A and B are shown apart, each in its own frame.
Chain A
Amino acid sequence: GAGVSQTPSNKVTEKGKYVELRCDPISGHTALYWYRQSLGQGPEFLIYFQGTGAADDSGLPNDRFFAVRPEGSVSTLKIQRTERGDSAVYLCASSGAELTDTQYFGPGTRLTVL
């Protein structure tokens, strides 16, 4: 009965470095979402996958951000040339295919860019 897992739980990096954040969704969930939560704010949508393809990446802030889900299960969020403003908690969620399905969230990865 595993839930959504995310690794690492914490990531500290220096400005300009490349980082990868991993999400393992609940087994059998076809939909996967990435959100970003800054301090004192609610989560903001980044990208949505249905299966292997990114159905909507309109929330990605710029072209330094990219996400993949090559086999329709695990997803990786990639951030190039990190900036201090990228510091936030990155949350992953998964759900079934229906809009009425609840999104189940992972514990998040706290990214700190020094």
Chain B
Amino acid sequence: KQEVTQIPAALSVPEGENLVLNCSFTDSAIYNLQWFRQDPGKGLTSLLLIQSSQREQTSGRLNASLDKSSGRSTLYIAASQPGDSATYLCAVNKLGAGSYQLTFGKGTKLSVIP
């Protein structure tokens, strides 16, 4: 069974710092990996989707990398801002039957201090 782990569970940084969030998964037979953002009381917003054949994706100040063979992904946030404060979730689609199911980690709660 696929398991997704995110470290750290919570992170607090001063505004302007660059930071890295980590995600690991136990089964490397994945189709996609996605990073989501969740604000309190809100749904999930997709930030970046990396297909298994890709190594990284970039959007603005966000960069996500994928090392499928080692079962790891990182989300790099440059020049953090207070508006980046949220919970960041990593999720994978497995290959084969049931590949539309997303398996999520528990998330990293980020606080950016002004």
Question: Which A residues have a C-beta under 8 Å from some C-beta of B?
Answer: 4, 6, 31, 33, 35, 40-45, 48, 55-56, 58-59, 91, 93, 99-100, 102-108
Which residues of the other chain, A, contact B51 by a CB distance below 8 angstroms?
Answer: 100
B99 contacts A by Cβ under 8 Å:
yes
Contact A100/B32 with A91-B43, A105-B43 known, Cβ cut-off 8 Å: yes
Task: Give the number of chain B interface residues (Cβ < 8 Å).
Answer: 26
B65 contacts A by Cβ under 8 Å:
no
Question: Which B residues have a C-beta under 8 Å from some C-beta of A?
Answer: 4, 31-32, 34, 36, 41-46, 49, 51, 89, 91, 93, 98-107
In the complex, the chain B residue whose C-beta lies closest to that of A108 is B43
Which residues of the other chain, B, contact A44 by a CB distance below 8 angstroms?
Answer: 104
Instruction: Please name the 10 residue pairs, one residue from A and one from B, whose CB atoms are nearest each other, closest first.
Output: A42-B104, A105-B43, A105-B44, A45-B101, A107-B43, A102-B46, A106-B43, A42-B106, A43-B104, A42-B105
